[in-house]
Amino acid sequence: MRVLHRFFLPSLLLLTTTFAIAQQNSSDIDSKVDALLKQMTLEEKAGQLTQLAGKTPESLQAIREGKVGSLLGVLGADNANEAQRAAVEHSRLKIPLILGFDVIHGYRTVFPVPIASTGSFDMPLLEQAERVAAKEATASGVKWVFAPMLDIARDPRWGRIVEGIGEDPYLGSRVAAAKVRGFQGKSIADPDSVVACAKHYVAYGAAEGGRDYNTVDISEQLLREIYLPPFKGAVDAGIGTFMSSFQDLNGIPGVANHHTLTDILRDEWKFNGFVVSDWGAVHELLAHGFATDDADAAAKSIKAGVDMDMVDNAFEHIPELVRSGKLPESVVDEAVRRVLRVKFEAGLFEHPYADPKREKTDILTPENLQVARKLAQESMVLLQNKSEVLPLAKTKTVAVIGPLADDKASQLGPWAGNGQAIDAVSPLEGIVGKIGKEHVLYAKGVGIPSFEGGLGAGVASPAPPSATGVKGIANTNKPSSIDDAVAAANKADVVVLFLGELAGMTGEASSRASLDFPGDQLKLANAVLATKKPVVLVVESGRPLDIRWATYHTQAILQAWFPGVQAGNAIANILFGDASPSGRLAISWPRTLGEIPIYYNHRATGRPSSPDRWHTGYLDLPNTALFPFGFGLTYSKFSYSHLAVKTPTIAPDGSLEVTADVENTGSREATEVVQLYVHDRVGLTSRPVRELKGFERVTLRPGERKTVDFSVKANDLGSYDPQMHWVVNSGTYDVWVAPDSASGVAGTFEVK
């Protein structure tokens, strides 16, 4: 192996005309920003860098005094306009506010949770969904969304794995770009576009033990190769803002990390927008043991590269810091420039107000719901389908059983924007709508304990092992209707069992130390399985749960995640074959807790996994995921053949061209997510055993075959050397065209 090429990532090719126009606009905006900046007092500058929560009499007064640049969580055009009027009509300099909100997977039309929709691998549809979200949010006066959430995570204990993009940096950066395009549209100045915010920068998902907000200690190489690429993808797509993360990275808290916020984000990537801190994170520097008081915290954050302080008002210390010589005014000016530039670019000076009419026409429309349903259908992952029990015939009598079958709130997931449970179609409603109530028997069976009351609540006394040997969690609700469930199952042709987690068991501050099904759900499952009726398990959860029992005892497993407002219709369409499953896993599915972290793109070891004892792995478990990253079944079968490397030898400035034939060998039309993986055999650091470098969704009729082409720039095959230079190694690479990260047809090529 020899290093062939060494250069920094990556070079963007811009069309010269677009570039000229952008430059002209940006120099216009720069002069407007400078003119405004000259008129500002230090207090007004600090005000532009301050975000408060909610529209209250106090926040309105502070806005009028020029002490606020942004509010978060103000919903509804009238509310937004009232707050905006305080700034635009009653503050001295009339600088508009930028109003922000968390629109993580939809505003009112709630889409599937991001870990699910990432698995659709459908970039145009993700873009379309964020267009819908932007349209709805702006109709409600929101101009800035705290999304996309781009945290890679390898640990399903971490509750926020549900909000993110799974485990893969390439997929993550593609999703980032699609979402930024969707949110920001053609221009952030358009009335139906929002400014997007890439969060949480950076490595928040690597929290030790999966405990939210916990410390992160990872190498610079891991940071650059795994955690940074989705954020780089967002910058390349032109994102307007970033949010720094709560946690410390190698000892430096996210808001005070000059290396990530300035050296990388500004100097290497040339990011031109502004950075907001996460909720209260500047003040939390005190608890981190990184600042003595709020003034010190403010100075450390703004010097590191944070431009706006979210809610803790620590930046009110800026004037005194400047006057006492502890903070150069030039640093403050630069932060204010960045905020004002985004406000100008977003057209807020020309059009500060929301149009209240749009609230009636643009929100929760049939077209928006259609997008939500399609994305939900494409996000579910069919994990098992023994003897092709699915799709079900519409003439069957179906027992719909389980605590999530009619739980509308949980369908929306943990961070549902302005979503309302009443809008959600529950699975039961969807199934009844599909086959008629005369074909449906319903029993909830058991409830799910909510864990409310703090960490560990409800788990103090583990239940005795159930018949499957899998432990449950003591249930505070009396499981009064398991008998009803058994009776329903006995009368039905097939059982569809809805088990999982409540939405509130995932998301922020919702880490779990177990991957079990909480409460008495397994007791219910065992009772239903004892009827010997075919069982289709539908899992609704924000993380992979331990489903080993189900792989033995149920006929089919559909991982539905939290599918959003159209949950029931989407699930019914899949179950009864009106839609075909095509979703894939965006994370490796562990067999059990002890396997965490498990991810497909792990480095090669000196003793690769093997049945022989003296190799990496466990004595008591296979060294593989239960289901690998990229896995998902369809209602058909696909064969892969004829992998052809069109470019057996490529130069560092060339491209790899690969084709393979994919054929639908089953009896139904279906969509296959065809994936391209590579492996650099010898590098300057030990390379991952596989890395995703491309994918394509291919829909084929029975018997139809397609030659799928992939093209990858040699530069994108590179990696970081120990000195953190991007290098493209010469030598032999493996390549696979594959249905998932653990199989496929293989070939090799050389980089010379």
Task: List residues binding ligand BGC (CB under 6 A).
Answer: 72, 102, 146, 199, 278-279, 508
Query: Do 202 and 260 touch, CB atoms closer than 8 A?
Result: yes
Q: Tell me the angle at which helices 16-39 and 329-345 cross, rounded to the nearest 10 degrees.
A: 120
**Closer to ligand BGC at the Cβ: 53 or 698?**
53
Q: Which is nearer to ligand BGC, 52 or 662 (CB)?
A: 52
Least CB distance to ligand BGC at residue 183 (A)? 14
Closest CA to 537 of 559, 516, 570, 562: 559
Rounded alpha-carbon distances, angstroms, from residue 613 to 62, 247, 493, 616, 619: 67, 39, 46, 8, 8
Q: Name the minimum Å distance from CB 279 to ligand BGC.
A: 4
When the beta carbons of 211 and 697 are compared against ligand BGC, the nearer one is 211
Residues 673 and 643: beta-carbon distance below 8 Å: no
> Whole-number minimum distance, CB 213 to ligand BGC, in Å?
9
CB atoms within 10 A of CB 393: 12
Q: Which is nearer to ligand BGC, 157 or 199 (CB)?
A: 199
Taking Cα atoms as reference points, which of 95, 79, 186, 189 lies closest to residue 141?
79
Query: Exposed, middle or buried by CB within 10 Å (0-12, 13-18, 19+), for 357?
Result: exposed
Peptide bond into 391 cis (omega under 30): yes
Q: Is 323 exposed, middle or buried (0-12, 13-18, 19+ CB in 10 A)?
A: exposed
CA–CA gap between residue 56 and residue 67 (Å, rounded): 14
> Smallest gap, in angstroms, from Cβ of residue 49 to ligand BGC?
17
Question: Cβ neighbours of residue 14 under 8 Å, at least 6 residues apart?
Answer: none
Closest listed residue to residue 378, CA positions, set 673, 731, 19, 47:
673
Least distance to ligand BGC, CB of residue 432, Å: 36
What's the closest the beta carbon of residue 584 comes to ligand BGC, in angstroms?
A: 26
Q: Report in angstroms how near the CB of residue 243 gets to ligand BGC at its nearest.
A: 6
| ∠ Cα 214 297 203 (to 5°) | 30
Q: 243 or 297: whose CB is closer to ligand BGC? A: 243
Q: Half-sphere exposure of 198 toward its Cβ, with a 13 Å CA cutoff?
A: 37
Q: Toward ligand BGC, which CB reaches closer, 102 or 672?
A: 102
Residue 52 or 60 with smaller CB distance to ligand BGC? 52
Return the active site residues. 278
Nearest approach in angstroms of CB 199 to ligand BGC is: 6
8 A C-beta contact, residue 309 and residue 301: yes
> Coil, helix or strand for 707?
strand
| Under 8 Å between Cβ of 339 and 308 | yes
Residues 6+ apart with CB under 8 A from 186: 193
With tokens 């030790």, the residue in question is: 208
Paired with 101 in beta bridges are 145
Backbone angles phi, psi at 260, to 5 degrees: -80, -40
Nearer to ligand BGC, 284 or 546 (CB): 284
Distance (Å, rounded) from C-alpha 693 to C-alpha 457? 43
Residue nearest to ligand BGC (CB): 146
148: cis peptide before it, omega within 30°? yes
In whole angstroms, the minimum distance from the beta carbon of 121 to ligand BGC comes to 25
Which of 162, 585 has the CB closer to ligand BGC? 162
Spatial distance between the Cα atoms of 358 and 141, rounded to a whole number of angstroms: 10
The torsion of the CA quartet 327, 333, 339, 342, rounded to 10 degrees, works out to -150
User: Between residues 243 and 404, which has the closer beta carbon with respect to ligand BGC?
Assistant: 243
Least separation in angstroms between CB 391 and ligand BGC: 38
Q: Is the peptide bond before 553 cis (omega within 30 degrees of 0)?
A: no
DSSP string covering 417-451, please?
TT--GGGPPPHHHHHHHHH-GGGEEEE--------
Task: Return all residues near 723 (Cβ < 8 A) that are at least 6 apart.
Answer: none
Least distance from C-beta 161 to ligand BGC, angstroms?
Answer: 14
Single-letter amino acid, residue 685: T
Q: HSE-up of 73 (CA within 13 Å, CB side)?
A: 10
Whichever of 183 and 279 has its CB closer to ligand BGC, that residue is 279
Single out the residue of 413, 392, 393, 395 nearest to residue 404, CA to CA. 413
